[in-house]
């Protein structure tokens, strides 16, 4: 059931250059949200910008708090970065279909490219709560852009890669996968299209469930405008309603 709520902001912090973590009180949404789902946020005081912006639910806390993680990429996110404790966010959610665990999946491999970590922390926390184990591969351009390890649950096994080699293995995060995919029962990934194309080409993932979260432009987030329609191997799908999580194998690359 989708809710529209006015969520008081608890904190809004720049945790990396141009990357913000905002926590808001939204128990109506956190009580029913699933990892991989998203919210539409009105990013302005008025109707400018007109359209809400989609954000993955980054984390939820027991007290009804919800976190969103975002990069400043335009006017809407610039406005959001300026919001402070005591302001309120106009939210619509939870929306879309999130990640799902196969019942026999105990060892999960999570792969995050840059801001693609956004939906995976909520997923990791839920999985850990169900007794599953998590290996998380994170990649970024350089060490200063890597998501802080201190914000992750300590029981996660974390492996990092940076393109310039300033931390972890030098190279792309997908280059780490070969060492961990064989032991994983299920794989979850979030990042840019180029990362998904690279994962899709890995022969060692054949026959394994790989769920990815797609990021596309969304007009409504509610299945009304058809602006997010994509062609998949199962026919036309709306990312906002049928996704944003899809099986990697169902997408044309």
Interacting residues toward ligand FES by CB under 6 A: 218-221, 223-228, 238, 240
CB of 27 vs ligand FES, minimal distance in Å:
26
Which residue in this structure is represented by tokens 């299920």?
Answer: 186
Question: Whose Cβ is closer to ligand FES: residue 124's or residue 220's?
Answer: 220
Structural contact between residues 211 and 246, judged by C-beta atoms closer than 8 angstroms: yes
Question: Whose Cβ is closer to ligand FES: residue 117's or residue 240's?
Answer: 240
Question: Which of helix, strand or coil describes residue 31?
Answer: coil
CB of 41 vs ligand FES, minimal distance in Å:
14
Question: Whose Cβ is closer to ligand FES: residue 139's or residue 244's?
Answer: 244
Q: Which pair of structure tokens corresponds to residue 125?
A: 């926390």
CB of 68 vs ligand FES, minimal distance in Å:
18
- List 162's β-bridge partners, or say none: 140, 170
CB of 40 vs ligand FES, minimal distance in Å:
9
Question: Whose Cβ is closer to ligand FES: residue 140's or residue 228's?
Answer: 228
DSSP notation for 135-175 = EEEEEESSGGGSPPGGGS-TTSEEEEEETTSSSSEES-GGG
Question: Whose Cβ is closer to ligand FES: residue 10's or residue 216's?
Answer: 216
Structural contact between residues 115 and 19, judged by C-beta atoms closer than 8 angstroms: yes
Which residue in this structure is represented by tokens 């890597």?
Answer: 146
Between CA 119 and CA 115 the distance in angstroms is 9
Q: Where are the alpha helices (DSSP H) in the chain?
A: 27-30, 75-82, 120-129, 193-200, 239-242
CB of 7 vs ligand FES, minimal distance in Å:
21
Q: Taking Cα atoms as reference points, which of 218, 189, 212, 210 lies closest to residue 93?
A: 218
Question: Whose Cβ is closer to ligand FES: residue 43's or residue 240's?
Answer: 240
CB of 53 vs ligand FES, minimal distance in Å:
11
């Amino acid at each position: 059931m989708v809710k529209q709520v006015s969520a008081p902001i608890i904190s809004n912090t720049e945790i990396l250059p141009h990357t913000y973590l905002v926590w808001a009180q939204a128990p109506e949404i956190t009580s029913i949200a699933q990892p991989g789902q998203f919210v539409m946020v009105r990013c302005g005081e008025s109707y400018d910008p007109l359209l809400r912006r989609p954000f993955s639910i980054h984390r939820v806390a027991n007290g009804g708090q919800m976190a969103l993680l975002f990069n400043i990429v335009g006017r809407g996110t610039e406005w959001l970065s300026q919001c402070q404790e005591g302001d309120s966010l106009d939210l619509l959610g939870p929306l879309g279909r999130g990640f799902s665990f196969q019942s026999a999946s105990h060892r999960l491999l999570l792969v995050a490219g840059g801001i693609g970590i956004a939906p995976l922390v909520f997923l990791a926390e839920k999985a850990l709560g169900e007794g599953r184990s998590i290996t998380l591969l994170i990649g970024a351009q350089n060490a200063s852009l890597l998501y802080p390890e201190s914000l992750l649950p300590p029981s996660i096994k974390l492996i990092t890669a940076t393109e310039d080699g300033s931390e972890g293995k030098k190279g792309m995060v997908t280059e780490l996968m070969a060492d961990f995919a064989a032991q994983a029962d299920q794989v979850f990934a979030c990042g840019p299209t180029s990362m998904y194309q690279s994962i899709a080409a890995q022969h060692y993932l054949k026959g394994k469930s790989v769920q990815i979260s797609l990021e596309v432009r969304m007009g409504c987030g509610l299945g009304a405008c058809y602006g997010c329609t994509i062609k998949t191997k199962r026919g036309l799908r709306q990312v906002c309603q049928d996704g944003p999580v899809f099986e990697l194998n169902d997408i044309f690359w």
